Structure 1
Amino acid sequence: MNDKLDLKSTDITSLNIEKIAALFPNCVTETAEGKRIDFDLLKQELSTEIVEGNKERYRLEWPGKREAIVTANLPTTKTLRPVREDSVDFDTTENLYIEGDNLEVLKILQESYLGKIKMIYIDPPYNTGKDFVYKDNFAKAGNEELLESGQKDEYNQKLVVNPETSGRYHSDWLSMMYPRLKLARNLLTEDGVIFISIDDNEVHNLRKICDEIFGEGNFVANIVWQKKYGPANDAQGMSDTHEHIILYAKNISFWNPILLKRDEKQLAAYKNPDNDPRGVWRASDLSVRTFSENCYFPITGPNGQIHWPPESTSWRISETKFNELLNDNRITFGVAGTARPMQKKFLTEVKDGITPQTWWHREFAADTKIARYEMKDLIPENVFDTPKPSLLIKRCIEISSREGLILDFFSGSATTAHAVMQLNAEDGGNRKYIMVQVPELTTEKSQANKVGYKNICEIGKERIRRAAQKIKESLNQDSQDGKGLNQDSQDLFNLGNQENQANPGSDNVQANPGSNIDLGFRVYRLDSSNMQEVYYKPQEYNQATLDLFADNVKPDRTAEDLLTQIMLDWGLPLSLKIERKTIAGKEVFSVAGDSLYACFDHELDEAFAKEIAKEKPLRIVFRDNGFKDDTAKENVRQLLKQLSPQTEMRVV
């Protein structure tokens, strides 16, 4: 409780704004200074004639929009540094976990992953007035920015609370989301899609900025997910039991959803009571809720009973077409021959799956209770309050990708990574993931902090490790007793639904014990550039100062740090295989075979150049001060041109 007196007189302007807002809520807007009255609109509300004002146009505007666009376009000198000690199977895995501000990370990934991401799922902070939102302020730097954000730690976090009383309540959230979505679009393949979880507070605004960034014509669906079972009796007004998942395509002309497999319940609807040689079938209604005179006719059943379409409807086919189907034994009147006429739909003739729908009930995509049980099953301590169920994200992946890269740049507890590994194990897919999460600190009193998780990234990485181990154990168990991977998920459903007395169905997809699943991940951490500041701004230093920088690489950076930045700068994916070689006594990194060679050792000379030229790499990088002397540097360059003319040489 804050009992400190503010010792200020009443803010009459704010009171008057609130009074006007009570009468004309549409006339209150957000500006750079906070809530204000749109006087042009207020004049119009108080006039019976059209009032001339600003030119009308259909678009979403908010204070800070131009800055948000500029923010997306600003370059960054930051880089990623590998963290081997937190990784699993670093040398062989193609999965990535990146710690850091996702705006900076998305900029860094632009070269290496431009047009290469098949599917994006994000669950960004909801604008509820309590959650944290990211704050991007490039006008302030260093300690001033950290003080302003209230997150003064070694990770340079940029997180602030966005209270409902803020005069820029919607604007700050929009300014946070806009540049990230703009950069994310660049990463999608032409047939790629993005799924965005959101609640009712900003779904309308999210649709508008996505219409602007992705194009209104690339909107696919607003999926409604049943996030909880039953009403909350303590809710004010309506009980909130749903969330939205907004779906956009990069180019809707190139994207079609992957059909979902029929489950046992859906397959059970197909029977063959008349032993039709074409196999099992289900009865399909012949009537349609529109009237067509050409399709309005009587049908005589086997027992002579006359059947007409229901009132105000007609049959969906003409009489000629009906007779064709009847002669081909594709019309049924029930086993007794007394039922309404129906068309037989054979399983062998329908689509090989179910077209996804926009209503995802909890039996289809799980709910928040299942998500908590799932998280607790992996990490028994209650370390994360709002995880999404892996089944929900698996559904998103199922309809969009059998292979390729899956990106989540608000990864939270890393549910998306869990979902990718689980689905690969179930269907033998070859999907890889990139998780990005700012290392937001856990609060001192939280259970996560008490059991040793200092930040959200530590929770996410540990979840991936434990989920991978559980999948590996399930695969081994499956090969022994035939228990499918999905049985573990079903056990969680049953546990989570004991209170609800519900029993959701299972996909009953059996795991393939022969699947070669990638259960590892490489960890990278966002950091300042590996290069000294003089590398980027030499004009700001005089000769005396330059002499202090005998090496333009920062002293605490390793050869792997340099290699990572070079790969990103050259547009190479970080998942490529990296090998270490020794050539003429020097350590050399080989990336994707001969795609890139890098040597950061010192005392390089002509003898080394002759040996490495035999490898004929496409690209090769050295430290600028790594040569024996300036003469050796030039001789190495000339020897490479002569002995391996296709090799492109650069120095850092």
Structure 2
Amino acid sequence: MDVVSSNLNSVEVLPVTADGVKTCWTWGKIKVANEKSLLTAKQVSDGTWRVFRKDYLEKIDGSIATTLPKSLWVEKEMNNDYGRRSLQELLGDSIVEFPKSPFLINKIVEVGMGKDGLVLDFFAGSGTTAHAVLDFNKQDGGNRKFILVQLPEPTDRTDYPTIADITKERVRRVIKKLNDEDGNGKSQDRGFRVFKLAESNFTPWDGSIDQSPEALSRQMEMHIEHVRQGRTDEDILYEILLKSGFPLSIPVETLQVDGKTVYSISDGIMLVCLDRNLSMPSVQAIVDRLPERVVFLDEGFAGNDALKVNAKEACKLKNIVFKVV
């Protein structure tokens, strides 16, 4: 027999609070009809009956259910005193006047993301966010990552001249502390990289200058050595990675190939050689590793056009993308 739902002979019943106030249901009729197996009724202490939703420790997707977070967090661990204490334990000095508590950020991370999330903190300060994420990963075996951004604001201190110096040192010490706690056991990957915003490592071609032969000649002379003075190979490498579409967190391994330093990106997908004195044997040794693409510094060919053409052809024979910067 089919049962047809209708309002005929229906009586509206509203939930009533302990002080007699009628409230409303959180589920509608359709949801109740579809998910009534999740509902149960229990008699409470005042003798009345109330409807409850069943909660299971393990969800359908296999994750563990948690209680809903409170709207107001007033636990003592959330206050700045705990933030100051945790910073003092690491650096021997509170340094920052009102540091956030790692417990507070830990709670936010717990509520807001899973085990593989990415946290972005645009006002890193003393590095509480990194501290909390690293601690939480240790607690539940997570693989959360963080990006911290902090301007080098001066502190008038000699040990930590800028706020950014405090941030970096705190992250280093948290990682050391957690690694020491792990001892000889298997530890998590807790590495981090520090980058500073700067202009390009390469002198750009200025298309707005006077197009006279003299002006063009001067600019061409400037581009004979187009890498800016004082830039390291690592500076150049990470600009190449960004312009090639790789994230800054990509695994990079340093290799020695035929006496040349070669950077292997993500297990050899791309090889980068910034050596200033290339030869065909060294180029061929790099090509024989069969990366998807290879990058050389133009300065490495020292104006030897024949060597550059041969290097390009060697890559072409093995379907490798050849790039010179």
TM-score range, shorter chain: 0.7 to 0.9
Structure with larger RCO (C-alpha < 8 A, sep 6+):
1
> Are the counterparts in 2 of residues 605 and 636 from structure 1 also a CA contact under 8 Å?
no
For residues 609 and 314 of structure 1, do their structure 2 counterparts lie closer, same or farther at Cα, with a shift above 3 Å needed? closer
Of 578, 581, 588, the residue aligned with 2:252 is 578
Q: Does 1:594 align with 2:268?
A: yes
In the alignment, the residues of structure 2 paired with residue 435 and residue 635 of structure 1 have an alpha-carbon distance, to the nearest angstrom, of: 44
What SS does the corresponding residue of 1:407 show, helix, strand or coil? strand
Q: Does 1:339 align with 2:47?
A: yes
For residues 314 and 293 of structure 1, do their structure 2 counterparts lie closer, same or farther at Cα, with a shift above 3 Å needed? farther
For residues 398 and 543 of structure 1, do their structure 2 counterparts lie closer, same or farther at Cα, with a shift above 3 Å needed? same
Partner of 2:193: 522
Of 609, 616, 622, the residue aligned with 2:290 is 616
> Are the counterparts in 2 of residues 620 and 650 from structure 1 also a CA contact under 8 Å?
yes
In the alignment, the residues of structure 2 paired with residue 339 and residue 528 of structure 1 have an alpha-carbon distance, to the nearest angstrom, of: 73
In the alignment, the residues of structure 2 paired with residue 431 and residue 623 of structure 1 have an alpha-carbon distance, to the nearest angstrom, of: 35
| Structure 2 unaligned blocks of 5 or more | 1-9, 60-64, 210-214
> Are the counterparts in 2 of residues 332 and 344 from structure 1 also a CA contact under 8 Å?
no
1:482-631 matches, within 5 Å, as: 516-532=187-203, 535-537=204-206, 540=209, 541-544=215-218, 546-547=220-221, 549-628=223-302, 629-631=304-306
Question: One-letter code of the match for 2:69?
Answer: P
1:452-467 matches, within 5 Å, as: 452-467=159-174
Alpha-carbon distance, 1:360 to partner: 3.1
More strand by share: 1
> Are the counterparts in 1 of residues 40 and 54 from structure 2 also a CA contact under 8 Å?
no
Q: Does 1:313 align with 2:22?
A: yes
Alpha-carbon distance, 1:375 to partner: 1.8
Alpha-carbon distance, 1:439 to partner: 0.7
> Are the counterparts in 1 of residues 40 and 51 from structure 2 also a CA contact under 8 Å?
no
In the alignment, the residues of structure 2 paired with residue 434 and residue 552 of structure 1 have an alpha-carbon distance, to the nearest angstrom, of: 31
Partner of 1:422: 135
Partner of 2:212: none
1:632-643 matches, within 5 Å, as: 632-642=307-317
Partner of 2:62: none
> Are the counterparts in 1 of residues 115 and 142 from structure 2 also a CA contact under 8 Å?
yes
> Are the counterparts in 2 of residues 613 and 640 from structure 1 also a CA contact under 8 Å?
yes
What SS does the corresponding residue of 1:339 show, helix, strand or coil? coil
For residues 404 and 620 of structure 1, do their structure 2 counterparts lie closer, same or farther at Cα, with a shift above 3 Å needed? farther
In the alignment, the residues of structure 1 paired with residue 228 and residue 197 of structure 2 have an alpha-carbon distance, to the nearest angstrom, of: 15
Partner of 1:496: none
| Structure 1 unaligned blocks of 5 or more | 1-291, 298-306, 477-512
What SS does the corresponding residue of 1:313 show, helix, strand or coil? coil
Alpha-carbon distance, 1:638 to partner: 1.6
In the alignment, the residues of structure 2 paired with residue 385 and residue 412 of structure 1 have an alpha-carbon distance, to the nearest angstrom, of: 11
Partner of 1:361: 73
**What RMSD, in angstroms, separates the aligned Cα atoms of the two structures?**
3.5
TM-score by length of 2: 0.78
For residues 578 and 412 of structure 1, do their structure 2 counterparts lie closer, same or farther at Cα, with a shift above 3 Å needed? same
In the alignment, the residues of structure 2 paired with residue 574 and residue 519 of structure 1 have an alpha-carbon distance, to the nearest angstrom, of: 15
For residues 294 and 569 of structure 1, do their structure 2 counterparts lie closer, same or farther at Cα, with a shift above 3 Å needed? same
What SS does the corresponding residue of 2:299 show, helix, strand or coil? coil
In the alignment, the residues of structure 2 paired with residue 308 and residue 523 of structure 1 have an alpha-carbon distance, to the nearest angstrom, of: 55
Partner of 1:435: 148
In the alignment, the residues of structure 1 paired with residue 168 and residue 177 of structure 2 have an alpha-carbon distance, to the nearest angstrom, of: 14
What SS does the corresponding residue of 1:425 show, helix, strand or coil? helix
Alpha-carbon distance, 1:419 to partner: 0.9
> Are the counterparts in 1 of residues 134 and 190 from structure 2 also a CA contact under 8 Å?
yes
Question: One-letter code of the match for 2:137?
Answer: N
Q: Show CA shifts across 1:545-566 (max 9, x none).
A: 5335531112322222211110
In the alignment, the residues of structure 1 paired with residue 272 and residue 17 of structure 2 have an alpha-carbon distance, to the nearest angstrom, of: 80
What SS does the corresponding residue of 2:310 show, helix, strand or coil? helix
In the alignment, the residues of structure 2 paired with residue 625 and residue 384 of structure 1 have an alpha-carbon distance, to the nearest angstrom, of: 46
For residues 520 and 640 of structure 1, do their structure 2 counterparts lie closer, same or farther at Cα, with a shift above 3 Å needed? closer
